[in-house]
Structures are given as C-alpha cells and as structure tokens.
Amino acid sequence: MYAQLVKTAGTGVKTREEMSDEERNFQDRVDRDEKIEPKDWMPDDYRATLIRQIGQHAHSEIVGQLPEGNWITRAPTLERKAILLAKVQDEAGHGLYLYCAAETLGVSRDELTEELLSGRMKYSSIFNYPTLNWADIGAVGWLVDGAAIMNQVPLQRTSYGPYSRAMIRICKEESFHQRQGYDIMMKMAEGSEAQRRMAQDALNRFWYPSLMMFGPSDKDSVHSAQSLAWKIKIDTNDELRQRFVDQTVPQAKYLGLTIPDENLKWNEERGAHDFSEPDWAEFFNVIKGKGPCNVERMEARVNAWEDGAWVRDGLLAHGRKKSAARTAAE
Amino acid sequence: MSKEWPLWEVFIRGQHGLSHRHVGSLHAPDAEMAIKNARDVYTRRNEGVSLWVVEAQHIAASSPEEKGPLYEPSNSKVYRHPTFFDIPDEVGHM
C-alpha cells in the first residue's frame, strides 16, 4: 500500500440525523456507487483526506523510482536493463496520473511538491530501505509491487472519479512490474548456490517491510471507518495484509525460498495463514525519518527539484515568449 | 506570476478509427512539449495513433448544478428512440 497512516479529516462517521442535506445527498451518491467528480459538491473533510491520500500515493510512486533507479546502470544484461528502465518510467507515469488526480481537488502541483520536500507529506515507508544487490530488484518487484497491487485493485472502485480512473490505468500496468520481479527471483532461485542465497537474503530483508506497507492494524480506528464509509478505503489494512500473505506463501514455496517467519502456518479453521506481525516500533521509526535511507531519498528529491529549476524556468519563459509572439502576429 | 507550467488536457485517438478521447492531463511549458510529454505519459503501450492537447484553461464545461435543466428535457422525449415505434413483424427489417 503506497498510502499509510493517512489521517482522515473530520470527527468520524456522522449518523444520517447529524448530516446536513448536502452531506446526506453526497453519502447517498457514494452508497449508490456513483462517482464523485471534481466540480460536484463534497464535504471539506472528504476533499482534504483525498488530497493527503492521493498526494502520498503520488509521492510514493516518484520516490519509489530511486531504489530501483540505483540498479539501472548495473543490471546484469541489456534486456534486464531495458525492462527495469521501462518499469521505472512507468512509476514516473503513475506519479503523474496521481498528481493530476489530486490537482482536480484544488491543490497545485507545486504545493504538493513543496509538501513532500519539506517533509510535511510522507511517502511509503518501504522506499526508505536500500536495494543492496540485484536480487533486491527481484524482491521489490515481487513483494513491493505485489503489495501495492493488493491495495490498488480495490481502489479502482473508489468513489472519487479521477482517483478511480488513475487506479484503473495504474493497475493495467502494474502487473508487468510484479511479474518482472518474480521472473528475476525465479532466475536467481534456479541459479548457483550463491544466487539462491542472494534471493533468500533479499526475501529475508524485504518480507517485514512489505507487510508494513499496509499500515498498522486499523480495526479500532474511527478514522478508518470514515474513509471506508466514503469509499476512499475499500478494505482494512489487516484484510489486505492477510490477502497478501496468503497469496505470497505459495509463490515463495515455488521458488524454494523460506519466508522468515517461524510462526507462519496454515490455519484450517480460519482458512488463512497465521503469521507474525512486523516490528511496529521499526515502522514508526522509519515514518519519523529514521529509516536506513530517509535522508538519502529526500536529498535526491530536493536536489532534483533545485537542480532542475533553471530548466523549468527557461522552458516556461520560452513558452510564454512564443505564445506572446503568436498573439502579436494575429 | 506562478512559475508552474500550465495544465494541458490530453486526448488520444485509439487504434480503431474512433474519436479522440480524454485520457488525463499533464503540465508542460508549451504545446510542443505537451505533445511530447503526452506521448511519454499516456502512450507507452500502443494506446493510440494521434494526440490532441489543449490548455485546460481554454475548456468551458457545464456545471453540475445545471444537470437538471440541461439534460432532463430529453428524458420525456422517448419517441427519439427507434424502439418507441412498434413495427409489425411482416414488414421485415427496418
């Protein structure tokens, strides 16, 4: 999940009696699965929460390019390099779809960028972990994109039209990402003993951070209930995490790799796997900026923004000059 | 004056001779760059054979409040649909 710990604005779910006429109409439309479009009336808290959620999602796509970009120049073959390049380019595209969706809610692109660079808005905790070797690129595609898909597929049905349409485009492209990751893992797992060890080591390091992507357990949260009622969250964090574990276990088994959790076992009664929770203290630490790569990631984004300023300004000046010349000629 | 590049709406004609269809938007300093960026952002997988871009500020749109007065009058004019008329089977295909 690329949006974690998104604070829902407002005071929780209102009863129908507490709602104004406008709020009641709005909730009825959401309940009927009608899409809410940019110019439609919407509660301020719905708008504010969506800006946070879509913004965080967009930032995650953009920052998510960094750990993988790290391996473009070091991919083992030209084909792997071309594939990784295409994947990283997709992530940029996903970020752009999402920024545009957020902008329809009345926030500007520059505002969103500044929120990220100042650290006021977050991106997914997963991208604060390093990619140390080629097997990590496999693990990221397989597990990280796998977890993202788990979250994004239900969000295609979200109530906000532009967000839903962005999700539909993203989901169409995302499945290539997970498969290319699994393909790398298959190659490594079938390779030499050293390659197999690298694959196992990548799984060991990415397993718990991937489980953290869904965010902490939200069964007791009032805020989560409001986001569910607005259909900007479709499933709870725990439901998605469970689904991810159940889906990944047979995939790991096929690779002959061991998921680093001795409590992991099939629970016949629940029809699902029991598994260990990730270390939530570590998660909150990473969110607070103390993960292994937080500083490096933010530096890379700030530098890209500052170093690119003269290009943005130059192109804008050129565009304005051309358009003024055209107007003068008319 | 804002230093943000203007917003452009992007329309793509798909492979099968259909009309251009709105696919999303992007920021670009001018029309030429908007087309180039649209190529990269919206046609990475053979989505189309032709692109239109138009600066978002030039698009006029109907407002949601006008939905009733604008579109309801057509609801009562069911005779605009061919299925309104019963044609006897003996007449054949029409």
pLDDT at A221: 65
pLDDT at A224: 82
- b/e map A184-212, b = 16+ CB within 10 Å: bbbbbbeeeeeebebbbbbbebbbbbbbb
* Range in A216-225, A240-249, A321-330, B69-78 the model is least confident about: A216-225
Which residues contact residue A118 at a Cβ distance below 8 angstroms, ignoring those fewer than 6 apart? none
pLDDT at B30: 95
- Closest Cβ–Cβ partner in A40, A109, A313 for B64: A40
pLDDT of A218 above 80: no
What mean pLDDT is reported for chain A? 94
pLDDT at B68: 85
pLDDT at A153: 96
More confident residue, A17 or B52: B52
C-alpha A47/C-alpha A41 separation (Å) is 10
CA distance A114 to chain B (A): 12
Residue pLDDT, tens place only, A279-303: 999 999 999 999 999 999 999 999 9
* Range in A45-54, A213-222, B73-82 the model is least confident about: A213-222
Contacts of B45 in chain A (CB under 8 A): 173
In a domain, B45, yes or no: yes
For position B18, which CATH number holds? 3.10.20.520
Contacts of B2 in chain A (CB under 8 A): 108, 110
pLDDT at B66: 85
pLDDT of A48 above 90: yes
C-alpha A268/C-alpha B60 separation (Å) is 59
- Look at the block and give the residue holding tokens 């290009």: A311
Q: Mean of the pLDDT values across residues A59-80?
A: 96
Domain that holds residue B64: 7-86
> What confidence category does residue A14 fall into, taking pLDDT thresholds of 50, 70 and 90?
confident
> What confidence category does residue A6 fall into, taking pLDDT thresholds of 50, 70 and 90?
confident
In a domain, B44, yes or no: yes
Q: Mean of the pLDDT values across residues B3-17?
A: 92
> What confidence category does residue B1 fall into, taking pLDDT thresholds of 50, 70 and 90?
low
Total domains, chain B? 1
pLDDT of B63 above 90: no
Residue pLDDT, tens place only, A232-270: 999 999 999 999 999 999 999 999 999 999 999 999 999
pLDDT at B65: 82
Q: Tell me the pairing of strands B7-13 and A265-267.
A: unpaired
Which residues contact residue B20 at a Cβ distance below 8 angstroms, ignoring those fewer than 6 apart? B11, B12, B13, B50, B52
- Closest Cβ–Cβ partner in A103, A169, A315 for B33: A315
Query: Which of A25, A39, A54, A96 has the highest number of chain B CBs within 10 A, making it the mutation to test binding with B?
Result: A96
- Look at the block and give the residue holding tokens 């007791």: A220
CA distance A98 to chain B (A): 10
Dihedral, A158, B28, A81, A291 alpha carbons, nearest 10: -60
pLDDT of A11 above 90: no
Put simply, the answer to whether A316 touches B24 (Cβ < 8 Å) is no
C-alpha A264/C-alpha B65 separation (Å) is 55
Q: Which CATH number fits domain A21-291: 3.40.50.720, 3.90.1300.10, 1.20.1260.10, 2.60.40.1260?
A: 1.20.1260.10
Query: Which of A25, A97, A167, A318 has the highest number of chain B CBs within 10 A, making it the mutation to test binding with B?
Result: A97
CA atoms within 13 A on the CB side of B63: 3
CA atoms within 13 A on the CB side of A256: 11
Q: Could you tell me the two tokens for B83? A: 């299925």
In a domain, B80, yes or no: yes
In a domain, B81, yes or no: yes
pLDDT of A219 above 70: no
Question: Any chain B CB within 8 A of the CB of A313?
Answer: yes
More confident residue, B73 or B29: B29
pLDDT of A191 above 80: yes
Put simply, the answer to whether B24 touches A169 (Cβ < 8 Å) is yes
- Closest Cβ–Cβ partner in A103, A173, A316 for B29: A316
* Range in A47-51, B51-55, B71-75 the model is least confident about: B71-75
As a three-state string, the secondary structure of chain A is CCCCCCCCCCCCCCCCCCCCHHHHHHHHHHHCCCCECCCCCCCHHHHHHHHHHHHHHHHHHHHCHHHHHCCHHHCCCHHHHHHHHHHHHHHHHHHHHHHHHHHCCCCCHHHHHHHHHCCCCCCCHHHHCCCCCHHHHHHHHHHHHHHHHHHHHHHCCCCEHHHHHHHHHHHHHHHHHHHHHHHHHHHHHHCCHHHHHHHHHHHHHHHHHHHHCCCCCCCCCHHHHHHHHCCCCCCCHHHHHHHHHHHHHHHHHHHCCCCCCCCCEEECCCCEEECCCCCHHHHHHHHHHHCCCHHHHHHHHHHHHHHCHHHHHHHHHHHHHHHHHHHHHC
Q: What is the ipTM score, two decimals?
A: 0.88
C-alpha A165/C-alpha A104 separation (Å) is 13
pLDDT of A115 above 80: yes
pLDDT of A12 above 60: yes
Which residues contact residue A55 at a Cβ distance below 8 angstroms, ignoring those fewer than 6 apart? A98, A99, A102, A107, A112, A115, A116, A121
User: Hey, CA dihedral for A209, A211, A215, A219, is it positive or negative?
Assistant: negative
The answer to whether A184 and A141 are in contact (CB under 8 A) is yes
